[in-house]
Amino acid sequence: MRIAILVMAAGFSRRFKASGGEHKLLASLNGKPVLQHTLDHAVATGLDVFAVTRPEDMAIHALIPAGRAVICRSAGIGDSIAAGVSATAEYDGWLITLGDMPFLSVESLLAVADALHRAPLVRAEVEGVPGHPVGFQRAFFSALASLSGDSGARAVLNSAPCQAVMLADKGCVLDIDTRSDLQRCLAL
């Protein structure tokens, strides 16, 4: 089964900017941009990695491995997922994660990918809290490719039984939306 990791990186980072920062994916975390941490972990899995971003975000493009950027003209998460899945239609499954989750471990990504071989819909869960990545087999291609707007894949997740992958990795549920989130993460 060929699985692609899709990293969502097309948002506008409004909350982070409103809290006094630049784009959250470019914010420095331990000497590297937040998105670079996320991409490094995804690439370390050995799976194919694609990042979905907007055409004007050239600084974000510079972080994405050559040939792995999927351009999305809208920043709605539904549009981003649809663009990523459509651009990788030859894959048998997808792990979807967010660019602002720099602590999501390689091991967690691989655990969810492994579970996707046995169940058509899987999701990381930490202490009862659903997180990322979320995995979808090819059976969900049409539903994912037709998403739009800012609602994401929640309706797809609710359309069928989802296998929880129990993990201890807090990186599955920690994202960075504001400068205070970044500071909190740095304190960890």
Instruction: Identify whether 161 is preceded by a cis peptide bond (ω within 30 of 0).
Output: no
Chain centroid to CA 87: how far?
15
Q: How much is the pTM?
A: 0.94
Pairing state between β 3-8 and 93-98: parallel
24 HSE (CA, 13 A, CB side):
28
Domain 3-187 in CATH 3.90.550.10? The answer is yes
pLDDT tens-digit profile, the chain (188 residues): 999 999 999 888 777 777 776 888 998 888 999 999 999 999 999 999 999 999 999 999 999 988 888 888 776 899 999 999 999 999 999 999 999 999 999 999 999 999 999 999 999 999 999 999 999 999 999 999 999 888 788 888 888 899 999 999 999 998 888 888 888 877 76
| Residue 144, SS3 per DSSP | helix
- In this structure, what are the phi and psi dihedrals at residue 134, rounded to the nearest 5 degrees? -115, 135
Residues 6 or more apart from 79 whose CB is under 8 A from it?
Answer: 10, 72, 73, 147, 148, 149
Give the Cβ contact number of residue 44 at 10 Å.
14
